[in-house]
Structure 1
C-alpha cells in the first residue's frame, strides 16, 4: 500500500525527487552538444541554443505505408478458415477503396522509377487478393501464404529504401551541424533516440549514431546497455523533447552519483533492489541466473 501524500516520509521523498530533478536540469545545461532524434526531426541543443533538422523525408513514410498493406491483409486473414464474417468483409471493402485511391496517387510522389514500379506491384497484388477473397467470400491458407511470400522481396527492398532515406537524411543534418562545432564540442557530442521497446534492437538512428559518435556498433543485434561513457542512448516509448533530453542528463547524473556512492558507475542503471532480489530468488528456488543466450530452448 502506498504512503499517503501527507505522510512525512512521502513529503520527504518528494523533496528528494524535486532536488534530483533540479540537479538533472543543471547537469543538462552544462553538458556539451546533445542531439535527440524524435520521429522525423533531429534536435540539437548547443550552447543554450536549439536547432532543428530533418531525420527523414516523405519517401520514408511512403515506403513504410505501402509495406504495411500486404502485412495488414495477412494479419486480417491469417486465422480465417470458414466464410468471411461481416466485419471482415467490411474491412476488406474499406481497404479496397483505400488501396485504389493510394494507387492513383503514386505518380505524384516523385519516387525513383524502380521504387515507383515496386509500389504499384505491391498495391496491385494486394488489390487482386482482396478482390479474389471478396468474390469467393473466403481465403485458403495456401492462397494467403502464396500471396505474402511473393511480396517478401518487395517488402525487404522497401525496408532497405526506408532505412537508406533515414540514414542519408540524418547524416546530412548531423554533418552540417558538426562542421559548425569545435573539435572539443564534437568530442563531447551525445545523442538520444526515441524508440519503442520492440524497435530498439537494430534501431536505424541508434546504429547511425553509434558509428558516427564512436560508440560500440553492434548492428542489427544491438539493444541498449548501460556502458560507462556511453554516448548514444535509447529513450524507450518517450516521444517528447523534454523527456528525451532528460534521459541524457539522468544517465550522466546517475553515473556520477553511482560512482561516488557505490564505486560502480552503472549501479544506478538497474533497480536498486535488483542485486538483493537476485540473491533472494537464487536461495528461494535453489537456482542461479543464466546469462543471455545460454538457456536451453
Structure 2
C-alpha cells in the first residue's frame, strides 16, 4: 500500500523527485547537440536553438501502406474455419472499396515505373482474393496461404524501398547539420529515437545513428546490451518531443550518478532492486538465471 501524500516520507521523496527533475533539465541545457527522431521528423537542439528536418518522405508511407494490405487480409482471414461472419464480410467489403480508390490514386503519386508496377501487383492480387472470398462466402486456407507467400517478394522490396527512403532522407539532414557544427560539437552529438518496443530491435533510425555516430553497430540483431553505447538511445513508446529529450538527459544524469555512488556507470540503467531480486529468487527457487541464447 502506497504512502499517503501527506506522510512526511512522501513529502521527502517528492523533494528528491523535484531535485532530480531540476538537475535533469540543467543537464539537458548544458549538453552538446542532440537529435531526436520522432515519426517523420528530425529535431536538432543545439546552443539553445531548435531545428527541424524530415526523416521520411511520402514514398516511405506509400510503400508501408500498400505492404499492410496483404497483412490485413491474412489477419482477417487466417483464423476463419467456416463461412464468413458478418463483421468479416463488412471489413472485406470496405477493404475492397478502399483498394480500388487507392489504386486509382497512384497516377498522381510520382512513383518510378518499377515501384508503381509493384504496388499495382500487390493491390490487384489483394482485390482478386477479396472478390473470390466474398463470392464464395468463405476462405480456403490453402488459397490464402498461396496468396500471402506470392506477395512476399514484393512486400520485402517495399520494405527495402521504405528503409532506403528513410536512411537517405535522414542522412541528408544530419550531414547538413553536421557541416554547420564544430569538430567538438560533432564529437558530442547524441541521438534519441522514438520507437515502439516491438520495432526497436533493428530500428532503421537506431541503426543509422549507431553507424554515423560511431557507436557499436549491431544491425538488425540489436538486442539489450549490458554495456550500451552512450550516444544513441531508444525512447520506447515515447513519441513526445519533450519526453524524448528528457529521457536522453535522464540517461546521462543516471550514468553520472551511478558512477559517483556505485562506481558502475550502468548500474542505474537497470532496476535498483534487480540484483537483490536475482539473488533472492535464485535462493528461493534454487535456480540460476539463464542468459538468452
TM-score (norm 1): 0.97
- 2:58 and 2:86 map into 1 onto residues whose CA distance is 35
Number of residues paired by the alignment? 293
Pairs within 5 Å for 1:58-97: 58-97=58-97
Q: Secondary structure at the match of 1:6?
A: coil
- Could you say what the CA RMSD is over the residues aligned between the two structures, in angstroms? 0.8
Structure 2 residues without counterparts, runs of 5 or longer? none
Q: Secondary structure at the match of 1:105?
A: helix
Does the CA contact (< 8 Å) of 1:36 and 1:44 recur in 2? yes
In structure 2, the CA distance between the partners of 1:228 and 1:234, relative to structure 1 (3 Å rule), is: closer
Q: Secondary structure at the match of 2:126?
A: helix
2:44 aligned partner: 44
TM-score (norm 2): 0.99
2:266 aligned partner: 266
2:109 aligned partner: 109
Pairs within 5 Å for 1:96-175: 96-175=96-175
- 1:160 and 1:42 map into 2 onto residues whose CA distance is 21
1:9 aligned partner: 9
Does the CA contact (< 8 Å) of 2:233 and 2:248 recur in 1? yes
Does the CA contact (< 8 Å) of 1:226 and 1:269 recur in 2? no
Instruction: Find runs of 4+ consecutive structure 1 residues off by over 2 angstroms.
Output: 223-229
- 1:27 and 1:146 map into 2 onto residues whose CA distance is 56
- 1:131 and 1:98 map into 2 onto residues whose CA distance is 13
- 1:71 and 1:234 map into 2 onto residues whose CA distance is 27
The alpha-carbon deviation at position 225 of structure 1 amounts to 3.2
Listed one character per residue, the Cα deviations across residues 157-184 of structure 1 (whole Å, up to 9, x for unaligned) are 0000000000000000000000000000
In structure 2, the CA distance between the partners of 1:22 and 1:226, relative to structure 1 (3 Å rule), is: farther
Listed one character per residue, the Cα deviations across residues 49-108 of structure 1 (whole Å, up to 9, x for unaligned) are 000000000000010000000000000000111111111111100111000000000111
- 1:18 and 1:229 map into 2 onto residues whose CA distance is 28
Does the CA contact (< 8 Å) of 2:216 and 2:229 recur in 1? no
- 2:145 and 2:71 map into 1 onto residues whose CA distance is 12
- 2:228 and 2:68 map into 1 onto residues whose CA distance is 38
